Amino acid sequence: MIILIRHGQSTTNAERLLVGRSDPHLTPLGERQSLALAPYLGGVRDVWVSPLARARQTAALALPNLEARVKESFVEVDYGDLDGQPVSTITFEGWRAFEHDHDVAFGGGESLASVDQRVHEELDALLRDESSLLHAHDRHLAIVSHVSPIKSAVVWALGVTGSTAWRTRLDNGSITTIGLRGATPQLVRFNVVPALEESA
């Protein structure tokens, strides 16, 4: 199976800023969220990770005994000029426009259709390769990534249009699992957030 992990809280997440290709680090809460993932990742034999620091830090804390392989295809969407801006910068009408046109690029950066293309190409390759961990029942591939690529993987598994992603929510430090039923991808779990231990 594939276990998709959204990185722990970053400093820009805490400030409610749009964060795409900028490279903030995890907050202390984000580090705790990453450590809380570890008990849920038994059977992971390989780790792919976005090149961004928040994803690499999450992988190192959650899966310290495995060396992660950087995959550019699972980097966050490029928000262009909107990167680092408050979420409130985009008006209600602006969000509606993005929801209705998957090909519109954020702030002159990247469109969600582009994210779908790069993510779906990777997943299609895993599906075609019967020796890949997607086809294994007790050995798993973990992919530590971001909201947009993980939602793209979900719409791939469900076989629905990319715009369906707007009707889902994905939290920091969450787990989403994709498996197979025969030769057909299926969404096994979505947005599972491990409980955090109380701080001493």
5-40 pLDDT per residue, tens: 999 999 999 999 999 999 999 999 999 999 999 999
pLDDT band at 200 (very low <50, low <70, confident <90, very high): very low
Could you tell me which CATH class the domain 2-192 is placed in? Answer: alpha beta
Q: Which tokens belong to 42?
A: 């038994």
DSSP structural state of residue 132: S
Please indicate, yes or no, whether the overall pTM of this predicted structure exceeds 0.75: yes
pLDDT in tens, 52-61: 999 999 999 9
Q: What is the maximum alpha-carbon separation in the chain?
A: 48
Which pLDDT does position 24 carry in this prediction? Answer: 95
Q: Residues 6 or more apart from 7 whose CB is under 8 A from it?
A: 26, 30, 34, 50, 52, 54, 55, 57, 58, 144, 145, 146, 172, 173
